[in-house]
Chains A and B, each alone.
Chain A
Amino acid sequence: MNTKLSRRRFIVGTAVAGGGLALGIRLPFGASAEAKTAGDAGVEVHAWVVVKPDDTCVIRIARSEMGQGTRTGLAQLVAEELECDWKKVATESITPGENLARKRVWGEMSTGGSRGIRTSQDYVRRGGAAARMMLLQAAADEWKVPVAEVGVANGVITHAASGRRTTYGKVAAAAAKLTPPDPKSITLKDPKDWKIAGKPMKRLDTADKLNGSKVYALDVRLPGMLNAAVKACPVFGGKLVSYDESKIAGRPGVRGVVKVNDSTVAVVADTWWRAKSALEALPIVWDEGAGASQSSATIAKHLEEGLGASEAYAFRNEGDAVGAITGAAKKIEAVYSTPFLAHATMEPMNCTVKLSADRAECWVATQNSEASLAALSEQSGVPLEKCEVYRHDLGGGFGRRGGNQDYVRQAVNIAQHFPGVPIKMIWSREEDMGHDFYRPISQCKLAAGLDDKGNLVGLHVRISGQSINAFVNPAMVANGKDDRQLQGYTARPGDAQLGYTVPNLLIEYAMRNTHVPVGPWRGVNTNQNAVYMECFIEEAARAAGADSLEFRRALMGKHPKHLAVLNAAADKGHWGTPLPAGVHRGIAHFMGYGSYSAAVAEVSVSGEGKVRVHRMVLALDCGHAVNPDQIAAQVEGSVVYGLTAAFYGECKVENGRMTELNFDRYQMLRLAEMPKVETVIVPTYDFWGGVGEPTISVVTPAVLNAIFAATGKPVRSLPLKNLKLV
């Protein structure tokens, strides 16, 4: 992972291991929009389950909810083992302070890499099962019968022999006094017997999104609160030299101007609008630094050099790819490129911090609330056990709100000037898009050799581009060895395996970093790598005169799971059947986050070169499907996120800074351009894969391959808005 992250983890870990300095401190639960239930009205039967007298089961949630449906999915898994009444399920988000105080009884809270469900499913199900066993034991004890004679359905406990019945609410207090069973001794249900998990349950968190009552971090209002607007040097790596406070003196509501850090200034006012207006009027002198000489053109040159450089990290080197291609009957070659991209979560970055004499509190939308807690403590100097993070559901995350808690650090620095006063810092949209951790830029040169029968005998892939790990922790990727940038190309099964067997294969990476900060962006490197691989395989298939699907199938004999998903997409996408005039199909598949994805796109290209995506079929094997309707929602969303990037996504660099700072230039796909999306879920129930990210990788290559089919020309650079297709 990254140092910043692991350093924070280390702190959290030390505090826990260091003799329980945090033990026994009861921290309040966060200001969440969920049911406030843990107190007087309920009893904690188990860390994951609180039962109220009215039989409501409150399921504790450790992971962050950013729209992906993890809260509902995790609740389904717990409820399944708990055997409670789904209609009486509520949820409650635990805070990182609570987790720390209780020796991380709820485990990992970080939510990224499509891990929210797959890496917690085992222990949350065991938590639900343990609570059930304790509740049944309590009933058996009360009735003085063996627990084996006691049954339960929908939270109603019965003893058949005597006809007695009771409910979870009635025995919860007694159950809470029992010792929980050893989790290892628990046998979990076979997914075939699931009644709540695996079903398309409605989300548990929709109601307050419909009437404006949901409180996002951006909506936090606290007594005496002031608001801050911030501006960082527009050039990455630049510094703040000075600002002329006198020019905004006397503006209404302004309470101060604060140097936030080396490169950032803030105006604090009674309202955010006044703070922002004053900040815009504030004369600021920057030292733009060396980065100011950089532009998209200089960066492209830097990457191009990497494509031909003699030194590169050989990630996979099987057989003799270069020799096989040189000696092949037919050779093809291509260079692809993909740009920097901003996350542009709908809710801009923001954070509210209150620092008191011996307490630091923070209200924030975060994918990693323990990293937020650690940042709050580090930056404020207040010990961890006197810090608390009240996490709010995110108005979008997509990787932006993970380990790098830059907004927490900024808000702490501002709040330090206003002891005891809550400071709500909000980034303008321009600040948000101008200071992201962007999806890294890269180029890729590919060469392939075909024998006289059109078989692929050699493949050489050279990626040149920026490394996320190098930005986060250069020491971790010494000598340019960064496997993460080759996501989706691994030989090893399980996570992000390449689905093809090629007799002679060389995959290389030339690390070429820039001054632009980079980070994970929904799907991370599977996006770019799927475009490179799947569009070039399409070029190879066409050079071989083969059908796109058959050419791929021939390379996938050793990868039955990849193949099954590709076949599922092809079937549902009616591959090979006639289409209306002018409509063409493209196909692609890829693996990431432990899941297998494939897509078929139906696309037309008008005489003026306008692309219309009519229909997309996406197939996904994520192992276990906890909530098919929410999986479909994630797939639909991934199509929008992917198509937005394919059509419009590009953050250009000029004079060292980003030029796309709002939705006028950084265009978004709108409803009118939305294709009909059909989701085919083909779970094999022998592994647990992710859902939020995997399918995004196949969206763009499927569409680009359909454009290739329509125009006869491959598309090798993005976004489409820059290209003349006909």
Chain B
Amino acid sequence: MAKLNINGKIRDVQVEPDTPLLWAIREQVGLTGTKYGCGVAQCGACSVHINGELVRSCVLPVGGVKPTDKVVTIEGLSSTSSHPVQKAWSALDVPQCGYCQSGQIMAAAALLRKKPKPTDQDIDDAMSNVCRCGTYQRVRAAVHMAAGRKQA
């Protein structure tokens, strides 16, 4: 049994402490917007924020998350899909299948919190999530748009 603070709510989850946070979020808390892609911290589909930091939740055991840690999932990023990243993603029709996009959006939101006006190099460095549909060109443009910048 662990206590997790997810999207501002305290949740009791009945899991072994070595259960990855990803699966506790998906299976016990029932929030399925955070995706399973690889389970080995390679793809970023499982990205969440913990105390504002970007974390790949598939390799983080629940036992390593304190009840005071603030976990934010894609469902908690904004209540009305009004985060600037979500708005830019919508404006540029970024998603194809969409499966990787929760992770892409969480990664972009974390980047913009640290660097409100990221350069292309910043985006290259921060946005390492895999998109098998190949939406990278629009991801880049949408990060710039969310930062309030037209891409050159």
A residues contacting B by CB (< 8 A) are: 66-69, 202-203, 205-207, 209-216, 218-219, 221, 227, 252, 271-274, 344-348, 393-398, 426, 428-429, 629-630, 633, 636-641, 662-664, 668-672, 674, 676-677
Q: When chains A and B are docked, how far (Å) is the Cα of A638 from the Cα of B134?
A: 7
**Cβ B96 vs Cβ A663 within 8 A:** no
Q: In the complex where A273-B27, A346-B37, A662-B40 touch, is A671 in contact with B123 (Cβ < 8 A)?
A: yes
- Closest-by-CB residue of A relative to B101 is A209
**Cβ B32 vs Cβ A219 within 8 A:** yes
**Cβ A206 vs Cβ B93 within 8 A:** yes
Q: In the complex where A203-B93, A671-B123, A676-B137 touch, is A212 in contact with B40 (Cβ < 8 A)?
A: no
**Cβ A671 vs Cβ B124 within 8 A:** yes
B139 is an interface residue with CB less than 8 A from chain A: yes
Q: In the complex where A206-B93, A273-B27, A395-B97 touch, is A429 in contact with B39 (Cβ < 8 A)?
A: yes
Chain B residues 86-137 with CB under 8 Å of chain A are 86, 89-90, 93-102, 105, 123-125, 127-137
**Cβ A663 vs Cβ B127 within 8 A:** no
Q: When chains A and B are docked, how far (Å) is the Cα of A640 from the Cα of B35?
A: 21
**Cβ B99 vs Cβ A395 within 8 A:** yes
- Closest-by-CB residue of B relative to A252 is B16
Q: When chains A and B are docked, how far (Å) is the Cα of A211 from the Cα of B83?
A: 10
**Cβ A347 vs Cβ B35 within 8 A:** yes
- Closest-by-CB residue of A relative to B102 is A212
| A-chain residues with CB within 8 Å of residue B99 when the two chains form the complex | 216, 345-347, 395-396
Min CB distance, A534 to chain B, in Å? 21
Q: When chains A and B are docked, how far (Å) is the Cα of A346 from the Cα of B134?
A: 11
Min CB distance, A208 to chain B, in Å? 8
- Which listed residue (B16, B23, B94, B133) contacts A272, Cβ 8 A? B23
**Cβ A672 vs Cβ B124 within 8 A:** yes
- Closest-by-CB residue of A relative to B106 is A212
**Cβ A68 vs Cβ B86 within 8 A:** no
| B-chain residues with CB within 8 Å of residue A210 when the two chains form the complex | 81, 86, 89-90, 95, 101, 105
* Residue contacts A-B, CB under 8 angstroms, 26 given: A67-B133, A202-B93, A203-B95, A206-B93, A210-B81, A210-B86, A210-B101, A211-B74, A218-B32, A221-B30, A346-B37, A346-B100, A346-B131, A347-B35, A394-B97, A396-B97, A428-B39, A633-B135, A636-B134, A636-B136, A637-B133, A640-B131, A664-B42, A668-B43, A671-B124, A674-B137
**Cβ B97 vs Cβ A641 within 8 A:** no
Q: When chains A and B are docked, how far (Å) is the Cα of A274 from the Cα of B19?
A: 8
**Cβ B138 vs Cβ A633 within 8 A:** yes
**Cβ A209 vs Cβ B35 within 8 A:** no
- 6 extra A-B contacts, CB within 8 A, seeds A216-B35, A273-B20, A640-B131: A206-B90, A272-B23, A272-B27, A346-B37, A395-B98, A637-B96
Min CB distance, B91 to chain A, in Å? 9
| B-chain residues with CB within 8 Å of residue A69 when the two chains form the complex | 96
| A-chain residues with CB within 8 Å of residue B16 when the two chains form the complex | 252, 274
**Cβ A68 vs Cβ B96 within 8 A:** yes
| B-chain residues with CB within 8 Å of residue A398 when the two chains form the complex | 132
Q: In the complex where A213-B33, A641-B132 touch, is A664 in contact with B40 (Cβ < 8 A)?
A: yes
| A-chain residues with CB within 8 Å of residue B39 when the two chains form the complex | 428-429, 662
- Closest-by-CB residue of A relative to B127 is A671
Q: In the complex where A637-B135, A671-B136 touch, is A346 in contact with B97 (Cβ < 8 A)?
A: yes
Q: When chains A and B are docked, how far (Å) is the Cα of A391 from the Cα of B103?
A: 24
**Cβ A396 vs Cβ B95 within 8 A:** no
Q: When chains A and B are docked, how far (Å) is the Cα of A670 from the Cα of B130?
A: 6
Q: When chains A and B are docked, how far (Å) is the Cα of A674 from the Cα of B137?
A: 7
**Cβ A206 vs Cβ B95 within 8 A:** yes
B57 is an interface residue with CB less than 8 A from chain A: no
